[in-house]
Amino acid sequence: MTTGLVRLSQWFSNVFDELWQDPERVLAASYRGGVETQESDSQPFRKRAKMLDVGKYKIALLLQTTYLSDTERDVLLEIHPGSGKILPEGLFLQLLDDSECVVMQTQTKGVDDFISLNFQIDGREAFSVQLSLEDIHVTEQFLS
């Protein structure tokens, strides 16, 4: 299943699709949020989360994008359990380029409460994030 294109550049104008919400709202009490970051004038960031159905599991996808320059952004992806305390074993988080080739990936080992990927993108680069569990694939598409 693939969803519509998310334009990350619009996030810096505070324009968000209604499905992308504050992480605390999406995960409520179960959100641990990792290390809290403070936005500064030199490196503004936007952080949003979206709940996804991956088979019988509710999974929260968090994306933080940090403005590095007019042509560069840092992106941090995290997935958290939407219900329960751990992610299902064997869940893949994959970064795909615009040709749908896997660029980076990580996988749960059975006792993970979150997994993450961190990378940088250029200008108007397109990429996708895919969550895979057995034969189920959920893909989110992004443009920087």
pTM (2 d.p.): 0.86
pLDDT tens-digit profile of 11-39?
988 999 999 999 988 877 455 554 444 44
Q: Report the amino acid identity of residue 4.
A: G
pLDDT at 9 over 90: no
Does 12 or 41 have the greater pLDDT score?
12
Domain locations in the chain as residue ranges? 2-31+43-143
pLDDT for 62-91, tens place per residue? 999 999 988 899 999 999 998 888 999 999
C-alpha span between 45 and 88 (Å, rounded):
29
The answer to whether 57 touches 31, Cβ cutoff 8 Å, is: no
CB atoms within 10 A of CB 135: 6
Indicate if the pLDDT at residue 40 is higher than 60: no
Which one has a higher pLDDT value, 123 or 109?
109
> What 8-state DSSP symbol labels residue 17?
-
**Nearest C-alpha neighbor of 8 from the set 44, 54, 33:** 44
Sheet harboring 57-69: ordered strands across? 45-54, 57-69, 72-81, 115-122
Question: Per residue in 83-120, pLDDT tens?
Answer: 888 999 999 999 999 999 999 999 999 789 999 999 99
Q: Are 65 and 8 in contact (CB under 8 A)?
A: yes
- Beta carbons of 11 and 26 less than 8 angstroms apart: no
Query: What pLDDT was estimated at residue 21?
Result: 93
CATH architecture of 2-31+43-143: Sandwich (2.60)
Alpha-helical segments (H) within the chain = 8-11, 23-27
